[in-house]
Structure 1
Amino acid sequence: MLNKDLSHIGADSVSPAPYSSMSSRVRGIIGACSGNLVEWFDFFVYAYTSIYFAAAFFPSGNQISQLLATAGVFAVGFFMRPLGGWIFGWIADTRGRKVSMIISVFMMCAGSLMIAVLPTYHTIGVAAPVLLVVARLIQGLSVGAEYGTGATYLSEASVTGRRGFFGSFQYFTIISGQLLALLTVAILQHTLSLGELKEWGWRIPFFMGAVSSIVVVYLRRAMVETASRQDMKRKGAGSISGLLQHKRAVLLVLAFTGGGSLYFYTFTTYMQKFLVVSAGMSPQVVSVVMTASLICFMLCQPIFGLLADKIGVKTHMLLFSGLATLLAVPILFALRSVTSPYMAFGLVVSGLLIASFYTPISGLVKADLFPATVRALGVGLPYALANATFGGTAEYVALTMRSANVESTFFYYVAVLTGITFLAAMLMPDLGKHGYLDGSGHIEANTGIGKA
């Protein structure tokens, strides 16, 4: 009986990290977030430079078919995320969050360096796009590792009453990585000719990402491990069988990620191409619009994280999913016919403000649904499955519908998915009372999802 009680306590409570001071806590968060920034810089650089290297790897066809091919390769990277979430979730839950995050940085570096030096189709033929796919698979595996472990680490490194604020820095650095990728491309656009960009200029950002990982490894080596040895050695830690004991939590993560990822990638990654191919704006103008929009979005993260600490993550999820369901379609219709860059900026920011109810708490909500023994796996694997299915295919689905002259169908697709997220948010219990970080850990007993 004593052993059973001790097992319950160890599984249902978060083991506090042995921080000696607030400064060591901050250093740990910086280490986690710096790697997040570099990994997402590397990942998004592909999306923003593909318009320049598409013809180098897929030379036949028109611009839309070339973009579809590169979008397909972009989506391939997402489909490695479930494997990354599974493998590195197990590593994080059984060997430590720190080990998992260091390995993931090395893998992203390898993928980026490979793309930077990759010969074109003209040089090695069909081997060029094949190797491009391999590089994206490596990057996808790495990003699949990064999200789940990073969200877990930040949730465990934060303190009660400020978890939303600390957790907001995960997407703050995701957006920072995306913003740095966009700024890098914008600088290259203004310093190199179009011919130079297509010939060799697009390779520069991939070299930058590979080199910057050296700094991240140094920062992460100094991080404090948040997983306790007791939890890592516990039976079922990091296992699929252990995860399946939390079926309702898994369903919640799938529902939240499906709508949240699709909406996020629609208004960030795909928006760069949407404003060019659908609204008819020049790539240079779109880069300025998206840079300004992402700066606003990035700065909103800690503000909305603090708001979540005041009003609760359940309310935040309801606000995001409800507003997205109602407003995604009219905002996207307006953006398709926009002519003024100022109006485009206002519309994109309005869409991103809605996303700001989701992004600061995305990792926190998911981490709070699982005990420490399967937390990294519980966050990483279901997230990666839904993210690959809906987020990774967002651009490809949108471009396919556009080529079939039914582009507006994609707008309603976004609304339907966020509507499902809204229903899941309605069914989610109050994590302040029932979550594993600060509550009783009785998630399965306090949600309607999965009940017969």
Structure 2
Amino acid sequence: MKGPASEGGPDSAATGDSAGAVTPPARPGRQLLAASVGNAVEWYDWYAYTFLAAYIAAQVFPKSAGNSLVPLLSTFAVFAVGFFMRPVGGLLMGAVADRHGRRAALTVTILLMGGSSLLVGLTPTYAAAGIFAPVILVLARLLQGLSVGGEFAASTTFLVESAGPGRRGLFASFQYVSTTVGQLVASGVAALLVANLASESMDGWGWRVPFVLGALFSVVGFWIRRGAQETRSEEQVRAPRPGLFEALRRHPRESLLICGITMGGTLAYYTWTSYLPTYAELNAGVAKADALLAGTISLAFFAVLQPVAGLASDRFGRKPLLLMFGLGFGVLCVPLLQALNGSFVTLLLVQCAGMVLLSGFTAISAAVNAETFPARVRAAGIGFPYSLTVALFGGTAPYLGTLFKDLGHAGLFPVYVAVLCLASSVVYLRLPETAHRPLER
């Protein structure tokens, strides 16, 4: 089976580092900070919407429908719409990263996210603006999707190219460390507001506070990223710029491989880290405050797991961890979700058990993706197929889970997650091991 690391397979990939095109940055810690702080801000803004979906539904969508789930379904539909801009962002910002540099793309994405977060925070209510309220919200989510899609493409490439020998898994793990920190802060801010504000205040103005904070955080992230060191080689800078669709046109197999790698992982990730509190409320009667608190604690646990799994992949390889995730979720997803019974402790244990398995995918997905494409088209090559797969399977997870409940078949959703994870496991079995190959520079 042909290795995916470069156009000429594993042999040419091995000569990429030896060609001396570029050396890892002299201050890798600073590179980690630049990527991680900005990425955390990006994902804080993105996830704040998820945690506050119920409040947004009550204010932005009409309540005239007889079914009380309709406003929530509408809000999660907008959540999915934002995801479908992510492939566009992955393609466009990935092309910017390949053509003009990783740092340039990272600067653009964080400015986009700050502006769109502020727009969500200033969205008028349906009572005040009518149909313009959901239109403004959709526009904001489209801009957020564009930013997040581009962020993954650029920051994944930036992180892995900043790593020294034998440390790509560790550096890649900070993609989800920072993502989780952003999500953790968003969850914590939401939980703090819910616990300390009266329901009238939360419905009226409290839900807007996290989005205004996100815009301010984006300014800080922008300032930090300006000091990052570019990771493209001089050879890449001098070479003709790749076309927008060059990665797809010249590397179709690698593009499909990214889709197969990501399919089960993104569905499990968004189910466990974003939708599970809502799932527990709808299907097990867990109180909203308890669900948010359990989510916050399990996210902190999840962040700690990432570097451990990343280091393990550098020593033992990527495939063992990927298979631990895929087969583990395929077998245990249904019984874990069926174990939810309304208890806070049970929910917390279920979430933490899933986080252990999920780390086998999240900690190393950035490294696996970067090791799949040659340097010339690495960011765009990762960005489009990855973001498209996330949109199809991750972005629709909250909507499908809520829809299954509305149709009276809530038990089908865990089966759906398990089947997709098993399907990705087939791909993992066929992957070549890339952990110990030099990365083409």
Give the TM bin, normalised by the shorter chain.
Answer: over 0.9
Tell me how far apart the structure 2 counterparts of residues 366 and 57 of structure 1 sit (CA, whole Å): 38
> Per-residue displacement from partner, 1:189-222 (whole Å, max 9, x unpaired)?
1221111000000000000000111111111110
Matches within 5 A, 1:172-211: 172-211=177-216
Q: How far apart are 1:102 and its partner, in Å?
A: 0.3
Tell me how far apart the structure 1 counterparts of residues 385 and 280 of structure 2 sit (CA, whole Å): 31
* Secondary structure, counterpart of 2:411 in structure 1: helix
Matches within 5 A, 1:111-260: 111-235=116-240, 237=242, 239-260=244-265
Range that drifts further, 116-125 or 88-97: 116-125
Report the CA distance shift for 1:36/1:144 in structure 2 as closer, same or farther (over 3 A): same
Aligned residue number for residue 70 of structure 2: 65
Identity within the alignment, %:
38
Tell me how far apart the structure 1 counterparts of residues 175 and 371 of structure 2 sit (CA, whole Å): 15
The alignment status of 1:102 with 2:104, answered yes or no, reads no
Matches within 5 A, 1:251-330: 251-330=256-335
Q: How far apart are 1:119 and its partner, in Å?
A: 1.2
> Per-residue displacement from partner, 1:231-286 (whole Å, max 9, x unpaired)?
24434625423443222221111011111100000011111201111111111111
Which amino acid letter does the alignment assign opposite residue 51 of structure 1? A
Q: After the TM superposition, which segments of 4 or more aligned residues of structure 1 sit over 6 Å from their partners?
A: 8-12
Aligned length: 428
RMSD: 1.9
The alignment status of 1:424 with 2:427, answered yes or no, reads yes
* Secondary structure, counterpart of 2:412 in structure 1: helix
**Aligned partner of 1:16 among 16, 19, 22:** 22
Which amino acid letter does the alignment assign opposite residue 411 of structure 1? P
Q: Using structure 1 for the length normalisation, give the TM-score.
A: 0.91
**Aligned partner of 1:351 among 347, 350, 354:** 354
User: 5+ residue gaps in structure 2?
Assistant: 1-6
Q: How far apart are 1:16 and its partner, in Å?
A: 2.9
Q: How far apart are 1:133 and its partner, in Å?
A: 0.1
Tell me how far apart the structure 2 counterparts of residues 290 and 238 of structure 1 sit (CA, whole Å): 42
Report the CA distance shift for 1:238/1:264 in structure 2 as closer, same or farther (over 3 A): farther
Tell me how far apart the structure 1 counterparts of residues 68 and 267 of structure 2 sit (CA, whole Å): 24
**Aligned partner of 2:368 among 361, 365, 368:** 365
Task: Give yes or no for contact 2:22–2:234 (8 Å, CA) kept in 1.
Answer: no
Matches within 5 A, 1:12-51: 13=16, 15-17=21-23, 19=25, 21=26, 24-51=27-54
Task: Give yes or no for contact 1:297–1:352 (8 Å, CA) kept in 2.
Answer: yes
Range that drifts further, 325-334 or 204-213: 325-334
* Secondary structure, counterpart of 2:58 in structure 1: helix
Tell me how far apart the structure 2 counterparts of residues 114 and 262 of structure 1 sit (CA, whole Å): 28
Which amino acid letter does the alignment assign opposite residue 375 of structure 1? R
* Secondary structure, counterpart of 2:285 in structure 1: coil
Task: Give yes or no for contact 1:262–1:390 (8 Å, CA) kept in 2.
Answer: yes
Range that drifts further, 403-412 or 367-376: 403-412
Matches within 5 A, 1:396-415: 396-415=399-418
* Secondary structure, counterpart of 1:268 in structure 2: helix
Task: Give yes or no for contact 2:247–2:380 (8 Å, CA) kept in 1.
Answer: no
Task: Give yes or no for contact 1:324–1:418 (8 Å, CA) kept in 2.
Answer: yes
Aligned residue number for residue 374 of structure 1: 377
Q: How far apart are 1:10 and its partner, in Å?
A: 9.1
Q: How far apart are 1:38 and its partner, in Å?
A: 0.3
User: 5+ residue gaps in structure 1?
Assistant: 442-452
Tell me how far apart the structure 1 counterparts of residues 24 and 175 of structure 2 sit (CA, whole Å): 21
Tell me how far apart the structure 2 counterparts of residues 234 and 98 of structure 1 sit (CA, whole Å): 18
